Amino acid sequence: MLIIVGLGNPGLKYRKTFHNTGFAVVDKLVASRGGSFKRSICKGKICELYVGGETVVVAKPQTYMNLSGECVRELMGRYHAKPEEVIIVYDDIDLGVGELRMREHGSAGTHNGMRSIVSLCGDKMPRLRVGIGKPVGMQPLYDYVLSQPKGEVATALTAGIERAAAVLDAYIKERSISKAMQVLQ
């Protein structure tokens, strides 16, 4: 059993924003495996993939970002998943645009979606962070994460999203963070 949760905000208004990077990564992963998000359960849209005889649930919470933990908690209950069987994919302002980091566990940092997940589900689940960089000048963080990348930034983020989907695909097969990250070398 593996549950992969990409974080973002529901609705067309947010579709191509920095904060929906997690959605973009899982969309790319599911499309590469010929799947689609057809079901709505546990406050999210899900796709069930079958890889090597195992179910892999890929989810996009349909709560707003700061309530993402509700969806993750319900999915864990429905599928009887342990924290180490759940991986969260999300945007990170502390990484350069398109950079990736994968960890076995950790704190929520400044990310509201991860704060919700950690408060409801604990901090023992793996996570894949995709860098979106920081706002330039005096732009408030809220405005930045809800804006759409443009130009070279958009190109770098798209490349990061593609690499992140490849890392997740390797993680599904290997169940090892170090082996999954080797696809970047």
If phi over 0 gives left and psi between -120 and 50 gives alpha, with beta otherwise, what is residue 34?
A: left
Say how far apart CA 58 and CA 39 lie, in whole Å: 11
Q: Is 19 part of the annotated catalytic residue set?
A: yes
> Do 185 and 163 touch, CB atoms closer than 8 A?
no
Residue 79: CA atoms inside 13 Å, Cβ hemisphere, count?
24
Tokens of 141: 């963080």
Question: Which of 19, 80, 105, 111 is flagged as catalytic?
Answer: 19
Contacts (Cβ under 8 Å, ≥6 apart) of 77: none
Q: Pick the closest to residue 89 from 158, 7, 20, 16 (CA basis).
A: 7
* Residue 48, H or E segment: strand 44-51
121-126-131-137 Cα dihedral, nearest 10 degrees: 30
Active site residues: 19
